[in-house]
Structure 1
Amino acid sequence: MANSVTIRELVKATTFKVIVGEEFLNKEVTSTEIHRPGVELTGYFNFYPSWRVQLMGQTETSFLARMSPEERLVIMRRLCQTETPCFIVARRIEPPVELIKACQEAGIPLLQATLKTTRVSSNVTNFLESRLAERISMHGVLVDVFGMGVMITGDSGVGKSETALELIQKGHRLVADDRIDLYQHDDDTLMGEAPSILRHLIEIRGIGIMDVMTLFGAGAVKQSNEVNLIVNLELWTKEKKFERLGSDEELVTILDVQIPKISVPVKTGRNLAIIVEMAAMNYRAKTMGYNAVETFERNLENLIKENSRKEL
């Protein structure tokens, strides 16, 4: 599902000042990439990506300062194409009057940022990637547990929301309940957040919809979070075999990102919230280099060798 973002939304999400083009802030950005005009300032426009957000810093404005006003105006007019979404000038640099004039003529917003050029580039790229990335929705609950994003999945009525509610009571944070909007932040990072209509809300059968932020405070919710682990709740049956040692790790691919998944049997008397906490802690230990399964297998191997020596 493709998304779009307007310059107005970009300005709202940042501290950018609108120099000119207030009436053109509804222009849409279609690319997550940012362009810093370089060779274009010398007149070479063969490969000018005019559809990207255009960013200028000290290097670009210093080069422009060496030109005559007439030369600058020619270049600025060539930079300002119909499809150009906006220009951003970093470091509180006053934009050249020729750029202001060209933006006014072409109907392009001109923004001014206070941060360094590289920081502006990074912040705008992150914003655009989060808004323009491909998104999918999945049924489940996303909770921040000890700083790890745990997505709880399972059939309807298996106890996902009830488990999340107990985790919230234990001090963890709710990201999304019932439906999770997922998007790929980079090659190895999957992000999840709640749809705006469900943000901060959780549904408990028999009680109804509750506002977690109102009941537990702002510290009990989170706007978005990386998805690090999937815990799938399954009703326990004698026929179903569940992993006991944890040696076989299952990976699920979502939007080209592989996420580890564990299946937890749901049975009367099991405290699912504690199990989810332990799963998150165990996953963190694995990422830090400690694997309990490897330790067990090593101890078992040593025990077998020791018994063999005794028999000899």
Structure 2
Amino acid sequence: MAEVVKVSELVQALGLEVVTGDEEALNRNITTGDISRPGLELTGYFNYYSHNRVQLFGSKEITFAEKMMAEERLMVIRRMCSEDTPAFIISRGLEVSSEMLQACEEHGIAILRSKISTSRLMGELSSYLEGQLAPRTNVHGVLVDVYGLGVLIQGDSGIGKSETALELIQRGHRLIADDRVDIYKQDELTLIGEPPRILEHLIEIRGIGIIDVMTLFGASAVRGSMEVQLVVYLENWSKDKKYDRLGSADEVVQLGEVDIPQIKIPVKTGRNVAIIIEVAAMNFRAKTMGYDATLEFENRLTRLIEENSEN
């Protein structure tokens, strides 16, 4: 879990312009993903001022401030500048008043600016900060983007998870993380997976060692993060175990307090697991779009039984 995000990290991630702010100002901590639009504060009402949030000024706030007297504007902006106020951000490339510049420079707070609209900027700010500040856990497995579907491959050690992922990469799919996947909740139903920084783009293949997927296969073979939508569990084939042959057994596994659909694939010599995972991903996508081959088979069987009973 990232407990804080530096203002400088926000600048780099969103491509913001630094209007004013020295190294110390850019080193301030952002501790919450909530964004404040200080409309009431501009009128002098500070009872519920969220001073520890990023302060976002859009055209409404800037236009209202422009109608204030210069002395009043300076006084209000100074009151907004608390010890834990991370930064002021201006949208739409709007001009920054001299009073805001003065107040922020007095308190060592950075003023940042973006050319995009206020609503879009607010969405990008919230999405980035909430993602960075969300509690993180890690799970063992390999996360791969298969046909745009985030597939987490799990299973016992040595069963061939990384080798299967490597074959999927060779077939045009993308690696997100190998061995350890950091996961966090984007919302109540969405789980995001990403690699730890030390393992970015790397995959371990027994007998070869660690390889850099981006170097060997190019930038299109890797991805920074992905929603975890399906878990594929690889298990050793056992002749004494009965396996689901129709695909009617819907299983889920809970990861990071989110229920994720899971399928189990028995592994034995001669089975091309990578191709099976590709088909599993396509079949899962088809189910989410309303087509269920198992249900279609059962309907055909029912019709056949009815036709035979009539005859």
Pairing 1:89–2:90 present: yes
Secondary structure of 1:184's aligned partner: strand
Paired residue for 1:3?
3
Distance 2:159 2:5 in 1: 37
Q: How does 1:211-250 map to 2 (within 5 A)?
A: 211-250=212-251
Identity score, percent: 57
Pairing 1:13–2:7 present: no
CA shift at 1:3, angstroms? 3.1
CA shift at 1:238, angstroms? 2.8
CA shift at 1:219, angstroms? 1.3
In the alignment of these two chains, the number of paired residues is 310
Secondary structure of 2:284's aligned partner: helix
Return the letter of the residue paired with 2:11: V
Secondary structure of 1:120's aligned partner: helix
Secondary structure of 2:274's aligned partner: helix
Paired residue for 2:170?
169
1:243-302 deviations in Å (ceiling 9; x for gaps): 221112111222232210001111111110011001100010011110111111111111
Question: For the Cα contact (< 8 Å) 2:77–2:99, is it kept in 1?
Answer: yes
Return the letter of the residue paired with 1:15: G
Pairing 1:71–2:59 present: no
Secondary structure of 1:232's aligned partner: strand
Secondary structure of 2:262's aligned partner: strand
Secondary structure of 1:241's aligned partner: coil
Distance 1:149 1:277 in 2: 11
CA shift at 1:2, angstroms? 4.5
Distance 1:177 1:143 in 2: 9
Distance 1:119 1:236 in 2: 51
What CA RMSD, in Å, does the superposition of the two structures yield over aligned residues? 1.1
Secondary structure of 2:129's aligned partner: helix
Distance 1:3 1:75 in 2: 30
Distance 2:240 2:47 in 1: 66
TM-score (norm: length of structure 2): 0.97
Secondary structure of 2:115's aligned partner: coil
Distance 2:118 2:291 in 1: 41
Pairing 1:127–2:125 present: no
Distance 2:273 2:196 in 1: 25
CA shift at 1:157, angstroms? 0.1
Return the letter of the residue paired with 1:296: F
Distance 1:186 1:270 in 2: 37
Distance 1:101 1:150 in 2: 51
Paired residue for 1:60?
61
Distance 1:174 1:113 in 2: 32
Return the letter of the residue paired with 2:216: L
Range 87-96 or range 232-241, more displaced: 232-241
Return the letter of the residue paired with 1:8: S
Distance 2:32 2:242 in 1: 47
Distance 1:68 1:118 in 2: 28
Return the letter of the residue paired with 1:20: T
TM-score (norm: length of structure 1): 0.97
